[in-house]
Chains A and B, each alone.
Chain A
């Protein structure tokens, strides 16, 4: 494989491993104390008004009515319509919607190119188009157009709206700027070197089958490398919210599992055996005392202020 292919593979690996590492980090953090926030989407008919099982007298004696479908519906609505932004931040909604739909299309395109690179796939009915052509080009064009317009609109609003500008960090501008560079390179490749995406499909196939095309055109190579760079950087940014959201919603906002029949006792017992080093005088954590000890032993008298 050539240098470009090797670098591309490494960047993509960085993306996958970076995301995995971050997701595993969240998933393996200690069980947190309950901190749910209503409405909780799996509360069946109660979810519509934000109610919970706590509304029932002797709730612990009754079976919980949990609707996973409710969770899926809520998340799907959020992903597909950006409902919260539409409701609470209307000026940002259309730019954000265009941007996200553009990205959805582009990620789907990437997945399609990868799928089409698997030997034999393109010989299946209709899937021959994954080797490039008008349909694929239209797909890429639509995705790029939506993403570019959305990104420009978001950048404009972040720059021109004084409140939003003040509340932005350097990272917010950097991400939008980086994406615009990626989109510009992608446009250059699509409109110049590879208008039917045949070369891109061949490039991807070459990587997947370890039989790279001889030498990709400069514009395509630049686009591929920039996409790769962006993806490799993504796990280090707040843009991992595309999977972080699973944790924030499902593992925090909707985590309402009650501690019935000692369900969590063993896990909590281990957590309470962890050492405490908070050093305010009323705690006196020394890195040796455990949570169980500081919570149950007499309270140290002194207080700094």
Chain B
């Protein structure tokens, strides 16, 4: 694709135009990376879909398929899909079907002046070399045009003023894919002088496709929320397997720290119900292990739950489906209520924070209103209480902090992780920008778990590129392999994205940059555990 033919820039109207693909990634225009990563040829990270696969699924937007969307078998099926989309437009704007987001959505649809103040704030648009289809207002304007044409109160004047757009299967398929080229980081919303929320448009489009047409990313739905609701976790872990795994982690931790570590289960009336993203248990067991070490050392009354769903804090519905979201959130709260815990502390999982603490807040009334708290202030209070003996010299290596969007921008949790890092990481430095202005890791809104077809190419080349540059810039002057460095990444999905990103660009081999959680850094600095908790091995 580096020799992609220069084509006229795409407009909204073009979305329905036959072209295969409409706007391929232009690998020559991607955001430049600092040396030596400027030598990594983007072509080496681009995976072209085979012709056979392209014949099976639609990749007509940009040569990428996140959704495995099959083309309709006949005109009747196309008609059915198009009619379903039209019906969904009405439901999005209905006070019955979308009461939870109607007001923000209506305000956003009604007020964009297309000033493009949001455009430069979008790391995807910038990293792509300003490809029009990734412009924050592009997908929003597609929706506006469809609403003006087919939505409630559609009329000729609205159509004329909004601009034209034909609705066919091509439009539908590309729009569904477009809703999966935004990580919902909402930097664009922060920048908007009017308060228009293009991130919300992505959210609402995904809902329309999932809730009306049954179209969503398999990783988020079938092997995500559906699996979680049926088995208990999107990892597929049943309670028995979970307990086995955590027992193994306890043994491993005991060996690493030099004394017995034991995770308590299902303790009724505990002060804290700790809820992890269950993916940590399988992919980064040192994270829940480090939590157990800290809780035990600080003398906290805490427990994990082996009840279905409560051992997996994830709620993928947050990204694409209000119904799935509500189902999972209610189950989470129900378990906390039954256990009679004083509060839920959410582990290092950004979207679980936003789901259970913010978006579900008003749904969780009565005795389901068990208080929810982030790990960050909770740990900061432990660290600042002096309950842990800390030796910051054990963390004498460069550290930077990645602010997960769902912690910083969605919850306003900025200072607590920094208060901890200032106490335990003498060589801590900030990225630019950081805090609520951070860049998304590129794996937000489910991207980190999505790798089907060639979607990982998009993550590595485009959605994660600005973040990679930020990390490299934070360690400028020390990018060689001789100095080990640590990106503190207190979010499971962000870690998954960093893992893939670093692997793709050879960051570990070239620069010895490791990613990991905040709790691992804390335990690594604990004076009364065996030194070397953090193992400098890439995984």
Contact = CB atoms under 8 A, between A and B. Distances in A.
B412 interface: yes
A259 B364 CA distance: 8
B412 A43 contact: yes
B251 interface: no
A251 interface: yes
Contact of A89 (B111, B120, B135, B189): B120
A295 interface: yes
B100 to A, nearest CB: 4
Interface string B102-142: 11101110111111111111000000001010010110010
A248 B413 contact: no
B11 interface: yes
Interface string B283-313: 0000000000000000000000000000000
A159 B110 CA distance: 23
Interface stretch (B262-270, B320-328, B476-484): B320-328
Contacts of A43: 412
A154 to B, nearest CB: 9
Interface string B401-431: 0000000111111111000000000000000
A259 B215 CA distance: 33
Interface in B70-121: 70, 84, 87-88, 91, 94-97, 99-104, 106-108, 110-121
A283 B4 CA distance: 42
A33 B194 contact: no
A239 to B, nearest CB: 8
B104 to A, nearest CB: 5
Contacts of B69: 305
B226 A282 contact: yes
Contact of A36 (B84, B324, B358, B374): B358
Nearest to A43: B412
Nearest to A83: B193
B99 A32 contact: yes
A88 interface: yes
Q: Report the interface size class on chain B.
A: 35 or more
Nearest to A278: B211
Interface in A243-294: 244-245, 247-249, 251-253, 256, 258-260, 262, 264-265, 268-269, 271-272, 274-283, 285, 291, 294
Interface string B430-442: 0000011100000
A170 interface: yes
Interface residues of A, number: 93
Given A54-B413, A296-B330, A238 B377 contact: no
A39 interface: yes
A169 B362 contact: no
Contacts of A210: none
Given A37-B190, A252-B104, A262 B195 contact: no
B377 A56 contact: yes
Interface string B486-524: 000000000000000000000000000000000000000
Given A57-B381, A259-B362, A265-B365, A305 B212 contact: no
A34 interface: yes
A291 B408 CA distance: 30
Contacts of A305: 68-70, 214-215
B373 A58 contact: yes
B200 interface: yes
B180 interface: no
Contacts of A85: 115, 117, 193
Contact of A241 (B111, B120, B189): B111
Interface string A4-32: 00000000000000000010011001111
Interface in B314-337: 323-324, 326-327, 330
B231 interface: no
A51 B412 contact: yes
Given A167-B114, A304-B214, A26 B162 contact: no
B85 to A, nearest CB: 12
Contacts of B378: 57
B104 A35 contact: yes
A170 B115 contact: no
B387 interface: no
A83 B193 CA distance: 8
A31 B362 contact: yes
A169 B163 contact: yes
A92 interface: yes
Contacts of B470: none
B361 interface: yes
A238 B110 contact: yes
Given A247-B103, A280-B212, A253 B195 contact: yes
A195 B400 CA distance: 64
Contacts of A88: 117-118, 120-121, 191
A73 interface: no
A54 B411 contact: yes
Contact of A34 (B138, B161, B324, B362): B362
A56 B373 CA distance: 9
Contacts of A171: 161-163
Given A29-B103, A59-B373, A276-B97, A169 B114 contact: yes
A168 B359 CA distance: 33
B45 interface: no
26 contacts: A22-B110, A34-B361, A38-B411, A40-B412, A51-B412, A54-B413, A57-B373, A57-B377, A57-B381, A92-B116, A162-B9, A170-B163, A171-B161, A241-B194, A245-B195, A252-B104, A253-B189, A259-B369, A262-B365, A268-B365, A271-B100, A280-B213, A282-B226, A283-B211, A295-B327, A304-B214
In order of increasing CB-CB distance, the 5 nearest A-B pairs are A52-B412, A248-B195, A304-B214, A50-B436, A265-B365
Interface of A: 22, 25-26, 29-40, 43, 46, 49-60, 78, 82-85, 87-89, 92, 96, 162-164, 166-172, 174, 237-241, 244-245, 247-249, 251-253, 256, 258-260, 262, 264-265, 268-269, 271-272, 274-283, 285, 291, 294-296, 299, 303-305
